[in-house]
Amino acid sequence: MIVFPNCKVNLGLHITRKRSDGFHDLETIFYPLPLYDVLEIIQTGTTEIQPEDVSFTTSGIPVDGLHDDNLCIKAFRLLKKDFPDLPAVKIHLHKVIPIGAGLGGGSADAAFTLKLLNDKFRLNLSTEQLVNYSLRLGSDCPFFIINKPCFATGRGELLEPVSIDLGAYQFILVNPGISIPTATAFSQVTPTLPVTSTREIILQPVITWKDELKNDFEEVVFKTYPAISDIKNKLYHAGAVYASMSGSGSTVFGLFRKEEKVTLSFPSHYFVTRI
């Protein structure tokens, strides 16, 4: 079976509190976008114990790190503990979504692995159960189980679907290939409660977002990486109605009216796509 994990962007992002468990509470709007990885899982063995219960290969954008640290592998083994009859499988991941870019690509791959395994092997897990499993893999993962625009609080796992229509706009995503450690970014932000909730702001006309819909990570990230700030400025100069960094970076996206022809120039090694 083959599925297509998509990315997300954050419409506004506030860090509201540091928790006693070391995590942070936040509020944001998760918004899914049709930029896709490709994930395939095939059965390679029986339900008996295999020398290797899961094999993993990749193509596309190189995936760094140890085999056992990959979230797709962790998702399989998480379910294997509770469903020991899961047979050995081969997982192949073709990466298109930039890695460590604030687009949730790894979280999407993990969540879609859970969903694919659930469907392929008829585990009969409910959406709520899948959300609970996914949270053990990462704070962004539960969103990709639901995969609809959501107002998110807590660590990002408390999700409330919201109605937001951006069909009149095109997204332009720009990633400069800068990797920003998420933990480092969180450590540099001072938690504060927003004056106006993100959930309220996104109900306003998009033209008002520029002044009101903020990402708390931008201030600290832009100081260290001015090239990312330059991307946002260039998007606005090109006519974006709204532009923002997604997550803790380093991708910046701009919202442009669909009928508008946008001319942009970025270094050749930047990842740039229009959606």
Do 121 and 58 share a domain, yes or no? Answer: yes
- On average, the pLDDT of the chain sits at 92
* Residue 195: pLDDT over 90: no
Catalytic residue among 8, 115, 214, 232: 8
Give the helix ranges, DSSP H, for the chain: 71-82, 105-120, 127-135, 141-146, 182-187, 198-201, 209-212, 217-224, 226-237
Question: Percent helix, strand, coil in the chain (nearest 5)?
Answer: 30, 30, 40
Residue 47 is predicted with a pLDDT of: 52
Last residue of one domain, picked from the residues 118, 143, 161: 161
Whether 150 and 143 have beta carbons less than 8 Å apart is answered as yes
Whether 54 and 89 have beta carbons less than 8 Å apart is answered as yes
Whether 164 and 29 have beta carbons less than 8 Å apart is answered as yes
Do 67 and 157 share a domain, yes or no? Answer: yes
29-45: per-residue pLDDT in tens? 999 999 999 999 999 97
Give me the mean pLDDT over the 45-70 stretch: 77
Could you give the CA distance from residue 259 to residue 15 in angstroms, rounded to a whole number? Answer: 35
Catalytic residue among 37, 109, 140, 216: 140
Last residue of one domain, picked from the residues 98, 130, 161: 161
Question: Omega into 126 within 30° of 0, i.e. cis?
Answer: no
Do 155 and 184 share a domain, yes or no? Answer: no
**Does the active-site annotation cover 81?**
no
Do 151 and 201 share a domain, yes or no? Answer: no
Residue 231 is predicted with a pLDDT of: 98
73-123: per-residue pLDDT in tens? 999 999 999 999 999 999 999 999 999 899 999 999 999 999 999 999 999
Do 130 and 174 share a domain, yes or no? Answer: no
134-181: per-residue pLDDT in tens? 999 999 999 999 999 999 999 888 999 999 989 999 999 999 999 887
Tell me whether residue 22 is exposed, middle or buried, using C-beta atoms within 10 angstroms of its C-beta: 0 to 12, 13 to 18, 19 or more: exposed
Q: What are phi and psi of 9, to 5 degrees?
A: -125, 160
Nearest by Cα to 79 from 121, 41, 37, 108: 121
Contacts of 169 by beta carbon, 8 Å cutoff, 6+ apart: 206, 241, 255, 256, 257, 258
**Does the active-site annotation cover 8?**
yes
Q: Which domain holds residue 177?
A: 169-274
Do 258 and 173 share a domain, yes or no? Answer: yes
Could you give the CA distance from residue 78 to residue 80 in angstroms, rounded to a whole number? Answer: 6
Last residue of one domain, picked from the residues 106, 132, 161: 161
Cα separation values, 68 from 56, 74, 85, 140, 212, Å: 9, 7, 20, 20, 42
Give me the mean pLDDT over the 234-240 stretch: 97
* Residue 188: pLDDT over 90: no
Could you give the CA distance from residue 261 to residue 274 in angstroms, rounded to a whole number? Answer: 11
Do 91 and 108 share a domain, yes or no? Answer: yes
Which pair of structure tokens corresponds to residue 216?
Answer: 């708390």
Residue 52 is predicted with a pLDDT of: 66
Residue 186 is predicted with a pLDDT of: 82
- Give the confidence band of 20 by pLDDT, cuts at 50, 70, 90: confident
- Structural domain count of the chain: 2
**pTM score, whole prediction:** 0.92
Residue 219: CATH number of its domain: 3.30.70.890
